Amino acid sequence: MKDKFDESILQSFSEVSPYLSSLLDEDVSFALTDREKFIDFLPGENIRPDITVGKAIKEGSSTQEALKTKKTICKIVPEQVFGFKLKSIAVPLKGSNGEIAGVVSIGKSLKRQEEILNLSKNLSMALNQISSASSEVSSGVQNIAASNDVVLKEANEAFEKTKNTNEILSFIKNIEKQTNLLGLNASIEAARAGELGKGFSVVASEIRKLSNSSNESITKINQVIKEIQASVGNILNSIKEVNETSHNQAAALEELTASIQELNTTAESLKEISSNY
């Protein structure tokens, strides 16, 4: 009865074995043993260990270790054996009375996982470099934005100072009017004085000429100052636009850096998952 029960367990695994590769969607090999020898074996597409039905269980193998310890044994077969890493899993099968009836084992190719792991490592490295470069650019843009803030402040102050020239021009204009009035009064007094006022008349004439000349100069200066104010205003507007753009770029780069860091975290998680697969 005991032997029949054990045989039934082994037979069940043997019947399932042809479907394992499709079920796992992996390149796998399958082996089944009783307590002494291999009773079934299916090689994988690229996994072809030195196993044949009827061959004795090899000393020191995962299968023998699973028989002895009555525990599942997992080992990584190095790349040198098949040209790629392989994960070997040997599971002891309990028969009647808890005794081990045999061992079922599969060899699973880790080629795909190695490729994913390498890709995730490369992705992580690339994202680290991009993140570093992005942080440097972001820092540079923030410095530019800070410098633009200083320039904008100074430009505002310069624009306000150009407005003070209007007060100066107004003051000079009043002097010119007073001078013109003084010259006019002097001419009137010289005319009243007659012959005695001729010398004074010359002085009055020169005062009026000076007043007229000052008026022309003030008009020109006023025009130049208006042009300067317009230029300073245009410069101020340009600086404001550049400053706004710099701040927007700095904010955008900060968001980009944060997104890259999230991607990098994802890549690290992918790398960890691949290495533990």
Same domain, 137 and 56: no
Q: Distance between terminal CA atoms of the chain?
A: 40
Q: Alpha-carbon distance 119 to 204, whole Å?
A: 96
For each of the chain's 277 residues, which pLDDT tens digit applies? 446 656 777 888 888 878 777 777 778 888 899 889 999 988 888 888 878 889 999 888 888 999 999 999 998 888 777 677 888 899 999 877 778 889 999 888 887 777 777 777 777 777 777 777 777 777 777 777 777 777 778 777 777 776 666 676 676 677 667 666 666 666 676 666 666 555 656 665 666 666 666 666 667 777 777 777 777 777 777 777 777 777 777 777 777 777 777 777 777 777 676 666 5
Q: Where does a domain end: 59, 85, 109?
A: 109
Residue 104: closest CA among 56, 24, 35: 35
Same domain, 122 and 142: yes
Q: Where does a domain end: 90, 109, 128?
A: 109
Same domain, 132 and 263: yes
User: Rounded to two decimals, what is the model's pTM?
Assistant: 0.47
Same domain, 98 and 217: no
Residue 70: closest CA among 105, 34, 104, 94: 94
Position 181 scores a pLDDT of 67
Position 187 scores a pLDDT of 67
Same domain, 120 and 255: yes
What is the CATH number for 101? 3.30.450.20
8 Å CB contact between 117 and 85: no
Side by side, which strands form the sheet with 100-109? 38-42, 28-33, 100-109, 86-94, 73-77
- How many structural domains is the chain composed of? 2
What is the CATH number for 124? 1.10.287.950
Q: Where does a domain end: 59, 88, 109?
A: 109
Same domain, 103 and 125: no
Same domain, 61 and 101: yes
Same domain, 144 and 44: no
Same domain, 101 and 181: no
* Domain ranges, residue 24: 2-109
Same domain, 129 and 249: yes
Same domain, 201 and 82: no
Position 85 scores a pLDDT of 80
DSSP label at residue 31 = E
